[in-house]
Amino acid sequence: MSDDAEERLSGGFANVVFKRGETVRRNAGPWTPAVHALLRHLRSTGFDLVPEPLGIDERGREILRFLPGEVAWWPWPAVLLRDEGLRAVASAVRRMQAALRSFDAPADAVWHGGPRTDGHQEIRHGDLAPWNTLWDGDRLTGIIDWDTAGPAPAGWDAAQGAWYFVPLRDRTGYRSTGPTPTMSERAHRLTVWCDELDEDPAHVLDVLDDVQCFERDRIRACGGAGIEPYASFLAKGSADEIEQERTWLAAHRDELLAAG
């Protein structure tokens, strides 16, 4: 493939992604300058699991340096079903959070989907899940798709990561990852995740309820206003699915907090 030829990459819930040479091209938006500033900061701290931003191309798309690895689609790579894979992600999130705390956002920063404005803010990834990680065999090589990054209360990435990586979901939400875990296995995975992040599992579950409420309400508000990708999420019932997962989590909270 020549340097000018483009290959459409698989995935991309919220964006169409193309590879040209050793770069990735994605649709840009008003939030792109803030996201690029964030990525440059993360890389400057030594956190190199994020793509390097290279500007905007002739078609107005953002340019990112290509990161090697395969996206953790369904079924999950085997490593993510083992403690070592879960620890690898949690360790990366811990380092990522430390780097994010030192980020001084531009005064005119615009964030996708609207910011939280209730104080005590940090910057979060915004969609921390297996489908936004890259793997080379058993090695984590990237955390990608930072479009929905933005201000949020402390601990939201850790909670959202637990939601999707443990996972803290019913069988329907877990059906495509591989073998369905027992509740004791989920309790164990929650303990592994929280130990690596030095977080209290009960606190993570409390924060996760806030995250789920916010994501549900954002889909309903932005989707109802016709803003993508939230309109598509709303149309396929994602807001109702999140509410169902909140109900499931509340019903199984005590089991999940049992010694894992």
Nearest 10 degrees: Cα torsion 122, 141, 66, 38: 10
Residue 135: inside a domain, yes or no?
yes
Mean pLDDT to the nearest integer, 123-143? 96
So what's the pLDDT on residue 119? 53
Residue 86: inside a domain, yes or no?
yes
Give the SS3 label for residue 209.
Answer: helix
The alpha carbon of 46 is separated from its chain's Cα centroid by a whole number of angstroms, namely 20
Domain boundary at 65, 80, 107, which? 65
Question: Is residue 60 located within the same domain as residue 80?
Answer: no
Question: Is residue 182 located within the same domain as residue 247?
Answer: yes
Mean pLDDT to the nearest integer, 166-189? 80
So what's the pLDDT on residue 10? 66
Q: Which residue has the higher pLDDT, 17 or 118?
A: 17
So what's the pLDDT on residue 135? 97
Average pLDDT of the chain?
A: 91
Residue 166: inside a domain, yes or no?
yes
Domain that holds residue 20: 6-65
What is the C-alpha to C-alpha distance for residues 106 and 33, in angstroms, rounded to an integer?
9
Answer whether 161's CB lies under 8 Å from 193's CB: yes
Domain boundary at 65, 86, 108, which? 65
Residue 1: inside a domain, yes or no?
no
Into how many domains does the chain fold? 2
pLDDT at 210 over 60: yes
pLDDT at 39 over 70: yes
So what's the pLDDT on residue 111? 92
pLDDT at 233 over 80: yes
So what's the pLDDT on residue 170? 81
Question: Is residue 36 located within the same domain as residue 75?
Answer: no
Question: Is residue 28 located within the same domain as residue 77?
Answer: no
Question: Is residue 38 located within the same domain as residue 78?
Answer: no
Question: Is residue 37 located within the same domain as residue 80?
Answer: no
What is the C-alpha to C-alpha distance for residues 62 and 60, in angstroms, rounded to an integer?
7
Find, among 146, 150, 156, 248, the residue nearest to 197 by Cα: 156
So what's the pLDDT on residue 121? 79
Find, among 181, 177, 187, the residue nearest to 78 by Cα: 177
Mean pLDDT to the nearest integer, 183-193? 96
Domain boundary at 20, 37, 65, which? 65
Residue 78: inside a domain, yes or no?
yes
Question: Is residue 96 located within the same domain as residue 19?
Answer: no
Mean pLDDT to the nearest integer, 250-256? 96
For residue 39, give the CATH number of its domain.
3.30.200
Question: Is residue 215 located within the same domain as residue 200?
Answer: yes
For residue 248, give the CATH number of its domain.
1.10.510.10
So what's the pLDDT on residue 228? 85
77-131 per-position pLDDT tens digit: 999 999 999 999 999 999 999 999 999 998 899 998 665 545 557 899 999 999 9
Question: Is residue 46 located within the same domain as residue 132?
Answer: no
So what's the pLDDT on residue 181? 82
Least confident range of 6-20, 176-190, 224-238: 6-20
Using the CB atoms, write b or e for 128-156: b if 16+ within 10 Å.
Answer: bbbbbbbbeeeebbbbbbbbbbbbbbebb
pTM over 0.85: yes
Question: Is residue 135 located within the same domain as residue 26?
Answer: no
Question: Is residue 59 located within the same domain as residue 110?
Answer: no
So what's the pLDDT on residue 241? 94
Question: Is residue 115 located within the same domain as residue 10?
Answer: no
pLDDT at 177 over 70: no
Residue 73: which pLDDT band, with cuts at 50, 70 and 90? confident
What is the C-alpha to C-alpha distance for residues 258 and 185, in angstroms, rounded to an integer?
11
Residue 206: inside a domain, yes or no?
yes
